Structure 1
């Protein structure tokens, strides 16, 4: 039965919003949810093109069978016995008791699992860095310590050192009122501002496996690195060396200081970390003093506003004052690449992947056929009514040739997606087709071609949102993490929520975004012709209270699922199950981590594996056979609290201040996760 959706009516200010605190919105995204969306383009928000009717079976069969069939078959064969394909019990990887919703000030895991913090904000990373002292912080100490508000995490084995890995983690943003006692909003001291700058960026930390359990122990040594808001980066691609990115301090347009607002990311097959610069707009002051009309219009499209700058770095660093350096804004919003094997290397900002509020940068490698070795990178633009992108490399991967592979993301074609359907707007059995629109191609010699009328390739690279507007991309409900399933090649996109859909003349519901005032989000399943321009899609989950008619859990019995709200990051376990972390749970519970079955008659079964402490967000999940790793971001962030009145005392307990941390979880007594 199809479930038609009612058109909800607009209510008060909180209708359609998640449960994220306003203080988090201030420092993380400049209160984006409280401003008008930056996308005011008049392109069709959903491409209403007649298509041949599609059944769910057709969509699942998809367009990429020839590309992934061999790998998928061998993977699924290895998964185990018939219990993975029948309704007799939970699938492998999901054999645990679901955690109940709660508001505890603790990280609560499934029964039978243990946990341990790997690293906390302020823990020493570099040799010689002091132990953390909340009341005696300095910029110099923070530059050698683990940064604030960890988001993405990845593990990269260290060649030749068994049992040791690089734990690579980005630090998304700082919430100064929870870092300093007596902090005055928008009135930081220079010392406070420079501590915050040092708390941003990326951490590369050597960790050692335990022989007894799934815990990880940091190794403070020469392999470690802290990248901050002041670390030099090399910018590559069509934006480099152009007038769009040149500044007083960098007249060549080749070197950018720092990376900020890093959200999700990815790990490359050649052993590097990709990290995605997201809400960079709320670090700049004096937007209204930019007098050039074209420059002001570009800034508006990316959400720059005078009242969004809660960090106030422009008081102490002229480059963050747009009245003095308007081009500095064009030097952030990229996918960055870091080589953990070389702590002295200069990290890269890849303008060939476009400039937007990147939420992710996840990699798929085509494994057979003429396109074998082609690298595809998926990314979402995390804001209401923004778009989904992919980059298809023209340089193919060479196993063992890291130098060659580190140039892969500088050559290829950038695309943006539009979606269509001939079906009524329903939550059940929603499906359709889509198209990838070319934006630009970067050639091996560095030259580039724009496919967008009236824009050069450099302009496409720097003003990517405007290029996507022009080709008619589909406006989505906050595209966050987007990741291909290693087992099947299907691509899963977390669409977190959209409080403005269908409100005050904004675009209304459509097949891929089926609810107005969407406070719970959905998971889009894409079957992609990875190297081509066609795709098919359906909705795996339409999140929210299972008792409500406007929710959908893949066809599974909704009375038997864990309710999920505001999906953010996605990952996969060794059995091919999807795992989802949440941000802003609108169902009166702390955020958490959920496992979801993708195939068979248990498709859509959703089970909660853990919840994070109150005020916190679940980020950066890694799920392998031995352990689950999560980043707990902004524990204790609540509108009525601060460092002078803590809302959480996690992870150290007692009367301690809350500290964002990375946590490892493993099965008590040994054994595989979810088995």
Structure 2
């Protein structure tokens, strides 16, 4: 390590934090949300229910790009039942995390689990290798300068790979090349710059670098020989490479576009906005575009106490401090006054949306789709209903928040790109209500299964708005879409434990949701879908809906995985022998391979070891046999993952390596991925079998 030097105490890091994350992560990623009051103070009861729902995107690249055929409607199987027929859309190259070819679920998992550890490397099973694909600061645009940690600039960063990478998806281009889309969720200036002590004392250039480090990247990658390894293309035209930042011009579409609630002095028509913020997970569409999700946008705004009184309720419901007139921790309002809510109170309303981006058109304008509602979006997973309508499932990643579903009015038409690009602008937005099926006395908080042997139940989708028609008394359609949390409160939605990524199994048709944790749940709030109080390890929910009916308004659910130490009696691994499974904590992103195995990445491991990537069969005698496939370096979170259609490569985004308490550029906690005495760099990495076998074998 570098020579030790006194660690500067950052004023913005003095507040307490919970969970397995460091204070640095809590502050820079979500504005230390767990140390603040829960924004949802409504009195919605816990219906002895819970959980999310959803069906996952299946998509394929537009026919002109890949010659792909149209995506068929998925067959949704009942949990525990025989596998449904393979998804017709699986014959196309998969998009999004974990989409691939269904083959009846006959693939076996034969690797030796990686042991929990605290090593500063990406650890993979015997017989596998890993390597970084693209790192923070790597040139993205032709002509971009090489990364120089000691001489950064905003101009350079806007052309280089951004900071903390999250959602990863891959668009195959034929042959041995493809496009990788990656979200850049947030920047950690305390690790990016020497001597950083907070936004109030940051230089304007440091603030502008932070603005440029957000957003997303499109990069062209190529296979290394005939192996499962991939690398960044660094030569030639690279015509698709692109950087999206917090300053990229975007436009609003859908029912709320042009609303008074979106108008500002700089945009009196409420039609355009600069940039996207805190993009976490995402999804893809059947027509070959990216859906990227704005999450904890509230932390970027200052002076909430100076906003007009009549607007404070809406701001507060989204986690903005409406009593403070202090600067923000990042100080962005010092260089762009739009982040000062005392001057521009509507600017916060312009973030928290699903953003659609065309990876094949670097000159296109990103679109914020208002019909999908505004909240702390974790992602947007799409599929097709039996009649061809597009369905998008979304979670609001905050304690006690909700799960949503959007169903388009019009139908998807394969190859009709101009028509398909309008489908996410008109339809019905729903919120979920969940109900357990066991007597309340049988859900005692110990984790003991109820008499029927399963944590399970049923649910319904409550309509909030259809086009320009509100279904919530006292709220207009625009108000429902801009203040979706308030509308869901009124509709009586079920409070959830940080609903995050949702994906659909390409073999069985089941839908799986990661509920990361909620240490604020009290014993009085325990229900069948949330069977433990102080839920610090989280769980995974399994959703079933009628075959070919993703537009259905009812569903069933169960919990196949209740996370934690297997020795803890409150944990549950779908009934599998717990002496044979790996410990897991804080599930975040999920994916499926072509055999229907569930892959789970973690964020904030509360068991004391590094975060990692895990895999678990969900059918047959191995259902519940969860094993750890890899661990990420010290202080890092595992994001992604994405398994390629040939199942020979798995991409993971290694977010915030070295982000631990006490770390600084003078005393780095990690040197990954470059080793030696280097500074840590968030990166996307790939793992592959050295003998060319499929991942997991």
Would you say same fold, with TM above 0.5?
A: yes
The CA distance in 2 between the partners of 1:622 and 1:326, in whole Å, is 38
Distance (whole Å) between structure 2 residues aligned to residue 245 and residue 75 of structure 1 = 39
Aligned residue in 2 for 1:166? 179
Per-residue CA deviations over 1:415-459 (Å, capped at 9, x if unaligned) read 1101002313255311100110001112xxxxx111111111100
Cα offset, 1:399, TM superposition = 1.4
Mapped contact 1:31–1:308 kept (Cα < 8 A): no
**Structure 2 residue matching 1:602: 3-state secondary structure:** coil
User: 1:287-335 CA distances to partner (integer Å, 9 max, x unpaired)?
Assistant: 1111x23311111111012479321101110100101100000000001
1 CA distance for matches of 2:297 and 2:695? Answer: 37
Asked if the contact 1:94–1:607 (Cα under 8 Å) also holds between the matched residues in 2, the reply is no
| Other-structure match for 1:508 | 525
TM-superposed deviation, 1:186: 2.8
The answer as to whether partners of 1:26 and 1:308 remain within 8 angstroms in 2 is no
Distance (Å, rounded) in 2 between the aligned partners of 1:583 and 1:153:
15
**Structure 2 CA distance, aligned partners of 1:668 and 1:382?**
37
Task: Find the aligned partners of 1:294 and 1:556 in 2 and give their Cα distance.
Answer: 54
Q: In 1, Cα distance between the equivalents of 2:41 and 2:574?
A: 33
Paired position in structure 1 for 2:68: none
Q: How far, CA to CA, are the matches of 1:390 and 1:524 in structure 2?
A: 16
State the TM-score, normalized to the length of structure 2. Answer: 0.87
Aligned-partner SS, 1:512: coil
Alignment of 1:31-70 (within 5 A): 31-46=32-47, 62=78, 69-70=84-85
1:286 paired with 2:308, answer no
CA deviations over 1:521-550 (Å, ceiling 9, x no partner):
000111134211101100011100111111
Q: Which one of 542, 551, 559 corresponds to residue 579 of structure 2?
A: 559
Going from structure 1 to structure 2, the CA distance change for 1:627 and 1:559 (only over 3 Å counts) comes to: same
d(CA) in 2 for partners of 1:528, 1:332: 32
Unmatched runs of 5 consecutive residues or more in structure 2: 1-14, 51-75, 92-100
**Runs of 4+ more than 3 Å apart:** 60-66, 68-76, 78-81, 306-309
**Structure 1 residue 657 and structure 2 residue 671: aligned?**
no
Q: 1:388 aligns with which of 398, 403, 412?
A: 403
Q: Report whether the alignment pairs 1:113 with 2:114.
A: no
The equivalent of 2:330 in structure 1 is 311
Determine which of 423, 426, 431 is the counterpart of 1:416: 431
| 1:369-448 to 2 correspondences below 5 Å | 371-423=386-438, 424-425=442-443, 426=447, 428=449, 429-442=454-467, 448=468
Distance (whole Å) between structure 1 residues aligned to residue 332 and residue 148 of structure 2: 23
For 1:477-488, list aligned pairs within 5 A.
Answer: 477-488=497-508
Distance 1:441 1:218, change over 3 A: same
Correspondent of 1:266 among 264, 283, 287: 283
Deviates more, 1:161-170 or 1:346-355: 161-170
Q: Does 1:622 align with 2:642?
A: yes
Q: Per the alignment, do residues 403 and 293 of structure 1 end up closer, same or farther by CA in structure 2, a change over 3 Å counting? A: same
SS state of the match for residue 394, structure 1? strand
Report if aligned partners of 2:49, 2:529 keep a CA contact under 8 Å in 1.
Answer: no
Q: Is the 8 A contact 1:155 1:166 kept in 2?
A: yes
Q: Pick one of 167, 191, 204 that aligns with 1:178.
A: 191
Q: Which moved more, 1:188-197 or 1:522-531?
A: 522-531
Determine the structure 2 residue equivalent to 1:454. Answer: 474
Offset from partner CA, 1:470-515 (integer Å, 9 cap, x none)? 1111101111111222223321111100111118xxx621111111
Which one of the candidate residues 478, 481, 492 is aligned to 1:472?
492
> 1:671: Cα distance to partner?
1.7
Structure 1: how far apart are the matches of 2:328 and 2:469? 35
The answer on whether the counterparts of 2:102 and 2:507 sit within 8 Å (CA) in structure 1 is no
Would the aligned equivalents of 1:18 and 1:566 in 2 still touch at CA under 8 Å? no
What is the aligned partner in structure 2 of residue 246 from structure 1? 263
User: How much has 1:467 moved relative to structure 2?
Assistant: 0.5
In 2, Cα distance between equivalents of 1:362 and 1:339:
16
Equivalent residue, structure 1, for 2:667: 645
CA apart distance, 1:163:
2.1
Match of 1:193 in 2: 207
Pick closer, same or farther for the CA change 1:657–1:397 going to 2, 3 Å: same
Aligned-partner SS, 1:33:
helix
Answer whether contact 2:303 2:340 (CA < 8 A) is retained. yes
Structure 1 CA distance, aligned partners of 2:114 and 2:181?
28
Cα distance, 1:209 vs. partner?
A: 1.8
Among 203, 226, 229, the residue aligned to 1:215: 229
Match status 1:124 vs 2:146: no
What is the alpha-carbon distance in structure 2 between the residues aligned to residue 73 and residue 164 of structure 1?
25
TM-score between the two structures when normalised by the length of structure 1: 0.89
The alignment yields a C-alpha RMSD, in angstroms, of 2.3
Given that 1:421 and 1:433 are in contact with CA atoms closer than 8 Å, whether structure 2 keeps it comes out as yes
Distance (Å, rounded) in 2 between the aligned partners of 1:283 and 1:540: 37
Match of 1:352 among 368, 371, 378: 371
1:53 equivalent in structure 2: none
Q: Structure 1: which 5+ residue stretches go unaligned?
A: 1-12, 50-59, 85-90, 443-447
Structure 1 partner of 2:543 = 526
Per-residue CA shift, 1:261-309, capped at 9, x if unaligned? 000001222111110000000000011111x233111111110124793
Shift, 1:654, TM fit = 0.6
> Number of residue pairs matched?
627
8 Å Cα contact 1:267-1:363 kept in structure 2:
yes
What is the rounded CA distance, in whole Å, between the counterparts of 2:417 and 2:223 in structure 1? 25
